Amino acid sequence: MSLIQGMTVLLAIGAGWGLTQPLTKIAVSEGYLPLGLIFWQLVIGALGMGLFRLVAGKPVTLPRRHWGFFLMIALLGTVLPNSFSYSAAAFLPAGVMSVVISLVPIFAFPVALGLGIDRFGWARLGGLVAGLVGVTILAGPDALPEAGMVLWLPVAVIAPLCYAVEGNVVARWGMHGLGPGHVLFGASVVGALVALPLALITGQFIDPRTRWDGPEYALLASSLIHVVVYTAYVWLVTRAGSVFAAQVSYVVTGAGVLWAMLLLDERYSLWVWMAMALIVAGMFLVQPRRQDGLAP
């Protein structure tokens, strides 16, 4: 694969992933609660990934011995982080949510050190500090459109922390011989089975027979986009390498902000742009260099 082809695919994946942030904002705009959204997101993802795997001739069996692993991935990768993301997205601008989600690699560094799967580096420490300073700026009194929004910033930050823990757990203990697509499919199925009773018990279940409008279509589009871009991301890793593919995080951040400006007419203060610059710089510093490599 040439550099131009790789960059084109990288930009397309980042643009698609970035689009899911304003779509999330639309999905929660009329009062839908997290567990109902999560259940249907997992169902749509499982159906989409399952269909893709059948067409591609890949296995769709879910061995019982792996269900505990699927459950862990579902909880850390979807149920817990999305519960907090959906809650915060109802109050925070979608662009700010895109900036917050980009903290994943910054949080991943100290978690990796704690698990003993990465080594200390002063540059990476600087990246961690830059990311934390960026979050501090976001929490300042003049950064967000309304002062009360700052209360939802810690809620939003829990999501990237969950993703960071999930990635490091997989890097530390592996995927039990399964491919990433198989893991995503299994986690979607198991996660849906967990989310359904929770949504019903808490009264958050969404009846699909309702009149479809912006939030319903946004949820459907976001879920399908996730399946497509994740599949493309895994393909890119196999063709261009994990270090190159990891640069998609920069594109996702920028694309999420731009999509929010285009679709939701959001505008941000200088403080938000400063926070974004610091967090992106932090992402650059904590990312493994090519000689370091990434977990498969």
DSSP string, the chain: --HHHHHHHHHHHHHHHHHHHHHHHHHTTT---HHHHHHHHHHHHHHHHHHHHHHTT------GGGHHHHHHHHIIIIIHHHHHHHHHHTTS-HHHHHHHHTTHHHHHHHHHHHHTSS---HHHHHHHHHHHHHHHHHTSTTTSSSGGGGGGHHHHHHHHHHHHHHHHHHHHH--TT--HHHHHHHHHHHHHHHHHHHHHHTT----TTSPP-HHHHHHHHHHHHHHHHHHHHHHHHHHH-HHHHTTHHHHHHHHHHHHHHHHS-----HHHHHHHHHHHHHHHHHSPPTTT----
0.75 exceeded by pTM: yes
pLDDT in tens, 73-89: 999 999 999 999 999 99
* Sequence ranges of the domains in the chain: 3-93+147-258
- What percent of the chain has pLDDT above 70? 96
Query: Considering the chain, what is the average pLDDT of its residues?
Result: 89
pLDDT at residue 294 is higher than 50: no
Amino acid 296: pLDDT: 45
Confidence of residue 123 (pLDDT cuts 50, 70, 90): confident
Please state the rounded mean pLDDT for residues 183-202.
95
